[in-house]
């Protein structure tokens, strides 16, 4: 038997001949990394996939135990338990993918009507003669008026500086990029018409190279934000930038250089050149936005935390030091408040919370977590200081989500099952691993309201207090044990407490309780790969049926792409920012009570 497996949304195909090969094994052979904690025994539930089409082997008992009836009804299965019976199409939920697959998914196609703010026009001109001495620009504009009905156009100065040479080189045939009424690029007719969407995060910068005419993502990549060396969080960077204009310029230039490099890399991947990029959209939190634009941040770092600007903004790329098409603009989505920036607006744009049916909450988890509640045209937003614990910081064996980071944990009696990124030897825990670990400790009763089970063989007293040994020294990549300490658990309590407080206060302000929520959308790198069950277990999220949760990947990046290829979406972003009602949590009298309660495990 020969059969084909098509994996969505990664878009990979795999041909099989052996009906003894499980779907899990097939994903591995196809190079589609999915999680598998228990090693294929159907006991961890981490390899769940959705069978979208085709025949497969029947349900096993293990699956009936691990999956909810709703999931089963929706075609969810555990990849380790499934054997194809012919051609099948398999959907892989984001949370089942391992870290090295993520970027690929984050570059998903945009599926909206394409109407970019920069449109391209093909021109073919007659050259000047003694009888036709019109200037080069007049020649171009006359053509656009006669052939395309366009008038009152202007031309970018830098495009103008190159236009006479380029027109003659290209033998008077070219493609022009028009942004509203301004000519922002001139290129040969054969070149691509590209846009770049950037999600400028505090820790990571994600870039998407997009075909402006089809909306297709041609390449996607993520790099570290080099400002990290000047402070892990925005407060440290604000403090640095406030020292003087040299320091502020340094922070901005670091990001400018990185975005230039990222763009060149994305272009190289897809055989393009950076000067084919005619429009850029950047989304980021308010501090990243201000630091990048070299706007003053002193007033952003002290109460009442007022941004210099919350409106959207267009700036010439070259004036920012970005090296794209001569007249290229960068569009920055609007900010909502000092701690709710354009990245959250982009997330709201991509997830449609503003115009959703029912009551929906959207959560963007980071050092600072932004939460919005949408219900019947009402939109409330808050920001909560969840800290860097879920990025692995302030955790004894915490680390970023790179090779060797434990991303999934399961405690079965005295055994610990775990999965590392790229299956490398474990070096520490990334956010989703820490979350799992704490949830498993709660679930197995090792910590929690009950008295600590000091009798567990992996619990011990070290010099800094009580800790749980997750990985022995022999197994670990570094040769050192990997443990979870009491202090680590405290950090996670602070983090999850902050998030839950935000959710609860927003619900209260809008007059709802958690059970009124029709949907909980979780965005961002950590939010997408966390285990929702674990998050519920530790009380970070309210107890709701699993199917009401939706993990959507880099929704901020997706929103940036939407704003890149659609004027309408850009206008919607304005509307979202204008209508969002910002709730200052700390100003609520019951904030301290809520927070104390939300911190409990």
What is d(CA 447, CA 445) in angstroms, rounded to the nearest whole number?
5
Strands 519-523, 549-551: pairing is parallel
Instruction: Provide, rounded to whole angstroms, the least separation between the CB of residue 254 and a copy of itself.
Output: 18
Determine if 340 is a binding residue for a copy of itself (CB under 8 A).
no
Q: Is there binding between residue 571 and a copy of itself (CB under 8 A)? A: no
How near is the Cβ of 143 to a copy of itself at its closest, in Å?
Answer: 14
- Determine, following the binding rule CB under 8 A, whether residue 136 of this chain makes contact with a copy of itself: yes
Q: Which of 600, 373, 396 is nearest to 496 (CA)?
A: 600
Do 441 and 410 contact (CB within 8 A), yes or no?
no
Residue 302 CB, nearest approach to a copy of itself (Å)? 11
Between 223 and 308, CB nearer to a copy of itself: 308
Q: CB-wise, 1 or 303, nearer to a copy of itself?
A: 303
Rule CB under 8 A: say whether 492 interacts with a copy of itself. no
Q: Does 154 bind a copy of itself (CB under 8 A)?
A: yes
Name the token pair of 490: 């405290």
Nearer of residues 339 and 390 to a copy of itself, judged by Cβ: 339
Minimum distance, C-beta of residue 137 to a copy of itself, in the bound complex (Å): 4
- Contact between 239 and a copy of itself by CB under 8 A: the answer reads no
Near a copy of itself by CB under 8 A, which window of 98-106, 114-122, 156-164, 522-530?
156-164
Tell me: does residue 163 bind a copy of itself (CB under 8 A): yes
Q: How many residues bind a copy of itself, per CB under 8 A?
A: 45
How far, CA to CA in Å, does 248 sit from each of 68, 173, 260, 261? 52, 44, 19, 20
What is the secondary structure of 210-274 as a DSSP string?
EETTT--EEEEEEEE-GGGGG-SSHHHHHHHHTT-HHHHHHHHHHHHHHHHHHHHHHHHHTT--G
Q: How far lies 395's CA from each of 143, 412, 431, 567, in Å?
A: 64, 23, 10, 43
Is 591 one of the binding residues for a copy of itself (CB under 8 A)?
Answer: no
Span 278-337, contacts to a copy of itself by CB under 8 A: 293-296, 298-299, 303-311, 313-315, 319, 335, 337
**141 scored as a contact of a copy of itself (CB under 8 A):** yes
Instruction: Choose which of 40, 584, 597, 601 interacts with a copy of itself (CB under 8 A).
Output: 584
Q: Which residues of 157-194 are buried (b: 16+ CB within 10 A; e: fewer)?
A: ebbbeebeebbeebebebbbbbbeeebbbbbeeebbbb
Residue 395's CB: how many other CB atoms inside 10 A? Answer: 26
Residue closer to a copy of itself, measured from CB, 293 or 544 = 293
Q: Is 531 among the residues that bind a copy of itself (CB under 8 A)?
A: no
Whether 503 and 512 have beta carbons less than 8 Å apart is answered as: no
- Per CB under 8 A, contacts with a copy of itself among 400-459 are none
Which helix (H) or strand (E) is 120 found in, with range? strand 118-124
Judged by DSSP in three states, 446 sits in coil
Of the candidate residues 17, 129, 413, 414, the single one contacting a copy of itself (CB under 8 A): 129
By CB under 8 A, which span of 154-162, 232-240, 360-368, 378-386 interacts with a copy of itself?
A: 154-162
Looking at 68-76, 136-144, 372-380, 542-550, which segment touches a copy of itself (CB under 8 A)? 136-144
Quote the CA–CA distance of 450 and 440 in Å, as a whole number: 14
- For residue 61, state whether it binds a copy of itself (rule: CB under 8 A): no
Question: At closest approach, how far in Å is the CB of 122 from a copy of itself?
Answer: 21
For helices 555-565 and 567-579, what crossing angle results, to 10°?
130
Task: Give me the least distance between CB of 340 and a copy of itself, in Å please.
Answer: 11
DSSP secondary structure code for residue 508 in this structure: H
Q: Where are the alpha helices (DSSP H) in 74-189?
A: 102-106, 136-148, 157-169
CB of 133 to a copy of itself, least distance (A): 5
Q: Does 474 bind a copy of itself (CB under 8 A)?
A: no
Is 582 among the residues that bind a copy of itself (CB under 8 A)? yes
The torsion angles phi and psi of 417, rounded to 5 degrees, stand at -100, 140
135 sits near a copy of itself (criterion: CB under 8 A):
yes
Min dist CB 163 to a copy of itself, Å, is: 6
Residue 133 near a copy of itself by CB under 8 A: yes
Applying CB under 8 A, among 116, 284, 338, 539 the residue interacting with a copy of itself is 338
Strands 277-284 and 329-332: parallel
- The verdict on 590 binding a copy of itself (CB under 8 A) reads no
Q: Is 2 exposed, middle or buried (0-12, 13-18, 19+ CB in 10 A)?
A: exposed
Q: Which residues bind a copy of itself (CB under 8 A)?
A: 128-130, 132-138, 141, 154-155, 157, 160-161, 163-165, 168, 293-296, 298-299, 303-311, 313-315, 319, 335, 337-338, 582, 584, 587
């Amino acid at each position: 038997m020969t059969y084909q497996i098509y994996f969505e949304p990664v878009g990979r195909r795999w041909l099989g001949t052996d009906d003894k090969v499980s779907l899990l094994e097939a994903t591995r052979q196809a190079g589609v990394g999915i999680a598998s904690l228990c090693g294929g025994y159907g006991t961890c539930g981490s390899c769940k996939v959705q069978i979208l089409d085709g025949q497969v082997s029947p349900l096993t008992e293990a699956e009936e135990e691990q999956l909810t009836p709703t999931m089963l009804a929706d075609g969810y299965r555990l990849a380790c338990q499934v054997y194809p019976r012919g051609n099948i199409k398999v959907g892989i939920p984001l949370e089942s993918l391992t870290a090295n697959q993520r970027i690929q998914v984050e570059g998903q196609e945009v599926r909206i009507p394409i109407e970019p703010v920069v449109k391209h026009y093909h021109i073919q001109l007659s050259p000047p003669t003694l009888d036709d001495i019109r200037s080069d620009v007049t020649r171009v504009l006359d053509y656009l008026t006669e052939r395309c009905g366009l008038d009152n156009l202007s031309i970018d100065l830098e495009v103008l500086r190159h236009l006479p040479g380029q027109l003659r080189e290209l033998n008077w045939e070219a493609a022009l990029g028009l942004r509203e009424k301004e000519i922002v690029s001139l290129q040969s007719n054969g070149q691509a018409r590209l846009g770049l969407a950037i999600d400028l995060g505090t820790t990571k910068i994600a870039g998407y190279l997009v075909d402006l005419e089809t909306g297709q993502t041609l390449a996607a990549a993520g790099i570290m934000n080099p400002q990290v060396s000047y402070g892990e969080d925005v407060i440290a960077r604000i403090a640095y930038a406030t020292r003087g204009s040299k320091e502020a310029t340094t922070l901005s230039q670091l990001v400018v250089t990185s975005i230039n490099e990222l763009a060149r890399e994305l272009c190289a991947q897809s055989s393009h050149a950076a000067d084919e990029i005619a429009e850029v959209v950047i989304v980021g939190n308010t501090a990243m936005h201000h630091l990048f634009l070299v706007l003053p941040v002193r007033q952003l770092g002290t109460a009442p935390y007022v941004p210099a600007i919350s409106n959207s903004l267009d700036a010439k790329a070259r004036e920012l030091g970005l090296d794209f098409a001569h007249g290229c603009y960068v569009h920055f989505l609007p900010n909502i408040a000092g701690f709710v920036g354009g990245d959250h607006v982009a997330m709201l744009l991509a997830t449609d919370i503003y115009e959703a049916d029912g009551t929906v909450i959207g959560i963007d988890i980071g050092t600072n977590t932004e939460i919005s509640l949408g219900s019947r045209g009402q939109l409330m937003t808050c920001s909560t200081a969840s800290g860097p614990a879920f990025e692995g910081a302030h955790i004894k064996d915490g680390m970023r989500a790179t090779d060797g980071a434990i991303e999934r944990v399961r405690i079965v009696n005295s055994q610990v099952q775990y999965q590392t990124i790229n299956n490398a030897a474990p070096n520490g825990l990334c956010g989703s691993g820490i979350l799992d670990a704490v949830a498993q400790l709660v679930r197995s009763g090792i910590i929690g309201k009950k008295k600590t089970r000091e009798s567990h063989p992996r619990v011990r007293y070290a010099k800094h207090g009580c800790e749980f040994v997750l990985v022995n020294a022999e197994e670990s990549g570094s040769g050192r044990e990997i443990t979870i300490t009491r202090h680590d658990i405290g950090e996670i309590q602070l983090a999850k407490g902050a998030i839950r407080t935000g959710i609860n206060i927003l619900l209260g302000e809008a007059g709802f309780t958690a059970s009124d929520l029709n949907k909980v959308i979780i965005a961002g790198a950590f939010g997408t790969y966390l285990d929702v069950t674990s998050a519920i277990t530790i009380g970070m999220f309210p107890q709701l049926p699993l199917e009401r949760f939706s993990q959507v990947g880099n929704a901020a990046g997706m929103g940036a792409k939407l704003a890149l290829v659609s004027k309408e979406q850009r206008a919607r972003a304005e509307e979202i920012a204008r209508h969002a009602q910002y709730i200052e949590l700390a100003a609520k009298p019951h904030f301290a009570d809520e927070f104390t309660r939300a911190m409990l495990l």
